[in-house]
């Protein structure tokens, strides 16, 4: 399957919310879905790093970096930890760095852009709270879907078979 969202919207149009912002794909994986886990932080990726060292089986980390383009909230070392811990994807309302290396990793990564400057590590941020960006509420426990067509969210896991 090369496209997930068109099939989901054909089958479940009223059960999905579509992001109104176009995120750039950086990871080797493009198509993904998983249970939402959230972080809200601003130019400090301490909580991102902390969560991606835990078991992420079936999960997607959604990071609300408030759209900041000043610092990267994800780099190659933290992304490699995400792969080792079985996270399906990381979505960042902000920047990543080490884009070349992240592009070789078996994980989906979507972000607004790149910035080579790392963040402060002050331990600041909130986890597992509802975050809103791209005109979507990302609610912990709900499901997020992504592919080259964009991002969408549903309250429950929706099933689609390849056509």
pLDDT at 161: 61
Half-sphere exposure of 145 (CA within 13 A, CB side): 22
pLDDT attached to residue 133: 98
Q: Which domain holds residue 111?
A: 5-12+23-150
**Is there a domain that residue 85 lies in?**
yes
| Tens of pLDDT, residues 145-158 | 999 999 999 999 99
Residue 24 pLDDT greater than 60, yes or no: yes
Whether residue 157 is contained in a domain is answered as: no
Looking up residue 96, the CATH number of its domain turns out to be 3.50.30.40
Give the model's confidence band at 163: pLDDT under 50 very low, under 70 low, under 90 confident, else very high. very low
pLDDT band at 2 (very low <50, low <70, confident <90, very high): confident
Number of domains in the chain: 1
Domain-embedded: residue 126: yes
Res 64 pLDDT > 90: yes
The tens digit of pLDDT for each residue in 114-155 reads 999 999 899 999 999 999 999 999 999 999 999 999 999 999
Buried b (16+ CB within 10 A) or exposed e, 20-30: eeebebbbebb
Q: What integer pLDDT is reported at residue 159 of this predicted model?
A: 82
Assigned domain for 137 exists = yes
pLDDT (average), residues 95-112:
98
Residue 137's SS3 state is strand
């Amino acid at each position: 399957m090369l496209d997930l969202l068109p099939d989901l919207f054909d089958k479940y149009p009223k059960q999905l919310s579509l992001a109104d912002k176009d995120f750039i794909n950086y990871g080797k994986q493009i198509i993904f879905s998983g249970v939402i886990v959230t972080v809200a932080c601003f130019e400090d990726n301490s909580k991102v790093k902390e969560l991606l060292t835990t078991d992420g089986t079936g999960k997607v980390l959604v990071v609300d970096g408030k759209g900041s383009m000043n610092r990267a909230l994800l780099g190659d070392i933290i992304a490699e930890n995400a792969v080792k811990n079985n996270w399906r994807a990381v979505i960042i309302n902000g920047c990543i760095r080490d884009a070349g290396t992240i592009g070789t990793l078996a994980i989906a990564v979507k972000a607004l852009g790149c910035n080579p400057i790392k963040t402060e590590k002050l331990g600041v941020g909130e986890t597992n709270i509802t975050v809103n960006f791209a005109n979507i509420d990302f609610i912990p426990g709900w499901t997020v879907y992504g592919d080259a067509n964009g991002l969408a969210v549903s309250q429950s896991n929706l099933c689609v078979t390849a056509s």
